[in-house]
Chains A and B, each alone.
Chain A
Amino acid sequence: MSSVMTASSVPRFRRGGWVFLLPAGAPFIAFVLWPLIHGVSLGFFDVQLGETRFVGLANYRRLLDDETFWAAVQNTCGFVVLVVPIVWVLSLGISALVYPMGSFARSFFRFAFYVPVVAGGVCLAMVWMWIFDQQFGLLNHITGSLMGVQVDWLGRTDTALASLAVVVISWSLGQPIIIFLAALGGIPPELYEAARIDGAGPLRRFWHVTLPLLRPASLFVLVTQTIGVFQVFVVVLLLTVNGGPAHSTRTIVYGMYETAFTPMYDFDYAAAQGSVLLVALGTIAVLQFRLLGRQTRLD
């Protein structure tokens, strides 16, 4: 984010700034900032029917011994490990193939891969519920006729998480492809020309020119995807029974939802889980920017 704070040569207006900021500022403070602060602070309290008592780290101590929470943490990390690298490789590969094919192909494939993003989680979860169905599902029809295998995709602990990951991947490609296509357009063609004169083939050109120059775009994609996948919820709620089988698909956000909004209504304990998510995502964002940011500068 280097260009963000550059000073401008035009003097700024001295007055009136707050007036412009007010229409956004008021709802920002009331509905974005304050709930965020309140959400973190709630984790240190015990909320019981109108009575709120400070309990320090009690909720966090409870988290340490909560096996379902650790299952959620483990599954959430599992989603990230499964989804993020695959999305990165697929979107980068697709963009690298599409880009040289001209503007028609670019618009066409950009459109095709973005349509699932537009459809949204609920629509896709509904249809995947049918596709994964053991008896009437399209997937078992295909695997059955090709390999003679029929699987209860969402009902087995060893396939449920991966099946949900496929759904998440299917709606995660659109945005990175747009980003990579735009970034590919920013690479000066002379660099490829120079590499070619030096005798580099297409693969080496991709490895030594394209990949390093796409690092900022890759960084952005990795960070946004990680943040997005950490918040997986809809597929778990709609495609599984309470994050099952045997807690194998429950995620942190699903756990939060269950703790706070099913008959438990345990708000403070859910808030503590939310704070863990907040700290994890904040750390990941900072780390990824540091790590990849430094590499970019060294080049």
Chain B
Amino acid sequence: MSEQTGQTPLPSTRLSRLGRWVSWGLLLVAATAAILPLYWMTTGSLKLQSDAMKTPPEWFPENPTVANYEKLFGGQEGGAWSGKRPASRWLVNSLLVAVSISVSAVFTSALAGYALWKLSFTGRRVAFWLVVATMMLPRQVSLIPLYLMVVGLDWMDSYPGLIAPFLCYPFGIFLVRQFMMQVPDELLAAARIDGAGPWRIFWHIVLPMSRPALGAVAIFSFMGAWNEYLWQLIVTNRPAMYTLPVGVSKLVTTLSQFDLGLAMAGATVAFLPMLAVFVMFQRYFVQGVSVGALKG
């Protein structure tokens, strides 16, 4: 990680006053374009269908309403899930799945990263290259075998079916191992002279020092699970087992008419928790992305 915050650029890299204004202007335009869809989604969730379809469009909702959210959490009259509260269940499902996957990814990546870094066993190199290869290869290839497996185990419409394929997170193993390589060898040598075994070294030295990498693994696996779509779409048939992305996408495909406000409310409910996680743990996102890229 070459985080350079706080370092003042040398005069040669400093821009002139005019250049600075032009840069800010260009960048703000680009950033606005990137954020605009999400603004449109969030404000759209506060509009009734009639307001959402207005031309010219309302840049700010003139009659903001929470009716879409009431509809979303209160069940759709006459819909496939009438009388239930599907969206709250989807939220719970998504949280449960994402948290389980994240916890498992941290646990397995920490141990495996350590094993691949400092422990000796036959096939260590092969194991490491398998991790790197599976990290790069498209997951879709395993989709059908995994589906057949889940059907065979009777795990359709169940949490094990949603979670199991993601218990091990190859990118996390890679990330933790690359990060652990920064732990100075002298530290480990000293601990070994003091008689510490692999478990004690892992628990007392390596684990505390790899906390940033583990934070990154937690965040990335959480985000991956929260935004996962294809797998969750395939293994869920019952609305009660949908996760947020699946449920939200079905708002469009199931209902006869595209209720814009309702769809935007669903998308906003899927977006805001992840945004909150991102805002709180932004540091780890940055670390995770840069460790993965630059230490490779």
Q: Which residues of A contact B (CB under 8 A)?
A: 1, 3-5, 8-10, 12-14, 16-18, 20-21, 23-25, 27-28, 31-36, 38-40, 42, 90, 94, 97-103, 105-107, 109-116, 118-131, 135-136, 138, 141, 145, 170, 173, 175, 178-179, 182-186, 189, 192-193, 196, 205, 216-217, 220-221, 227, 230-231, 233-234, 238, 253, 256-257, 260-261, 267, 270-271, 274-275, 277-278, 281-282, 285
- Are B5 and A121 neighbours in the complex by a CB distance under 8 Å? no
- Are A170 and B37 neighbours in the complex by a CB distance under 8 Å? yes
The chain A residue with its CB closest to the CB of B270 is A123
- Are A12 and B120 neighbours in the complex by a CB distance under 8 Å? yes
Q: List 9 A-B contacts (CB under 8 A).
A: A20-B112, A21-B119, A102-B9, A105-B24, A122-B245, A123-B38, A130-B260, A136-B53, A175-B289
- Are A127 and B44 neighbours in the complex by a CB distance under 8 Å? yes
A279 to chain B, nearest CB (A): 10
- Are A126 and B267 neighbours in the complex by a CB distance under 8 Å? yes
Q: Find chain A residues with CB under 8 A from B119 CB.
A: 12-13, 16-17, 20-21
Task: Pick the residue among B109, B173, B248 that contacts A122 (CB under 8 A).
Answer: B248
Interface residues of B in 165-206 (CB under 8 A from A): 165-168, 170, 173, 178, 181, 185, 188-189, 192, 197-199, 202
Q: Find chain A residues with CB under 8 A from B55 CB.
A: 135-136, 141
Task: Pick the residue among A20, A145, A217 that contacts B198 (CB under 8 A).
Answer: A20
A17 to chain B, nearest CB (A): 3
- Are A123 and B41 neighbours in the complex by a CB distance under 8 Å? yes
Task: Pick the residue among B23, B109, B146 that contacts A97 (CB under 8 A).
Answer: B23
A170 to B257, CA, bound (A): 27
Q: Does B282 contact A (CB under 8 A)?
A: yes
A94 to B173, CA, bound (A): 31
A28 to B131, CA, bound (A): 9
Q: Does B71 contact A (CB under 8 A)?
A: no
Q: Find chain B residues with CB under 8 A from A122 CB.
A: 227, 229, 245, 248-249, 267, 270
- Are B274 and A24 neighbours in the complex by a CB distance under 8 Å? no
B281 to chain A, nearest CB (A): 11
B1 to chain A, nearest CB (A): 7
- Are A31 and B168 neighbours in the complex by a CB distance under 8 Å? yes
Q: Find chain B residues with CB under 8 A from A135 CB.
A: 53, 55
- Are B40 and A130 neighbours in the complex by a CB distance under 8 Å? yes
Top 7 nearest A-B pairs (CB, nearest first) are: A120-B227, A17-B121, A35-B142, A185-B4, A17-B119, A24-B112, A24-B108
Interface residues of B in 248-262 (CB under 8 A from A): 248-249, 252, 258, 260
The chain A residue with its CB closest to the CB of B201 is A13
Interface size class of B (residues with CB under 8 A): 35 or more
Q: Given that A13-B198, A21-B116, A119-B38 are known contacts, is A103 also in contact with B141, CB under 8 Å in the complex?
A: no
Q: Given that A141-B56, A183-B294, A277-B141 are known contacts, is A13 also in contact with B120, CB under 8 Å in the complex?
A: yes
Interface residues of B in 219-251 (CB under 8 A from A): 223, 226-227, 229-230, 234, 245, 248-249
Q: Does B209 contact A (CB under 8 A)?
A: no
Q: Does B13 contact A (CB under 8 A)?
A: yes
Q: Does B26 contact A (CB under 8 A)?
A: yes
Grouping DSSP codes into helix (H, G, I), strand (E, B) and loop, the B interface class, with mixed when no group exceeds half, is helix
- Are B138 and A170 neighbours in the complex by a CB distance under 8 Å? no
B138 to chain A, nearest CB (A): 5
Task: Pick the residue among A1, A31, A111 that contacts B296 (CB under 8 A).
Answer: A1
A128 to B260, CA, bound (A): 11
- Are A123 and B168 neighbours in the complex by a CB distance under 8 Å? no
A193 to B12, CA, bound (A): 6
Q: Does B134 contact A (CB under 8 A)?
A: yes
A61 to B117, CA, bound (A): 44
- Are B142 and A27 neighbours in the complex by a CB distance under 8 Å? no
A39 to B137, CA, bound (A): 12
Q: Find chain A residues with CB under 8 A from B168 CB.
A: 24-25, 27-28, 31-32
A264 to B14, CA, bound (A): 61
The chain A residue with its CB closest to the CB of B5 is A103
Q: Find chain A residues with CB under 8 A from B30 CB.
A: 90, 94, 113
- Are B136 and A285 neighbours in the complex by a CB distance under 8 Å? yes
Task: Pick the residue among A35, A114, A124 that contacts B278 (CB under 8 A).
Answer: A114
Interface residues of B in 270-296 (CB under 8 A from A): 270-271, 274-275, 277-278, 282, 285-286, 289-290, 293-296
- Are A17 and B294 neighbours in the complex by a CB distance under 8 Å? no
Q: Does B18 contact A (CB under 8 A)?
A: no
The chain B residue with its CB closest to the CB of A234 is B229
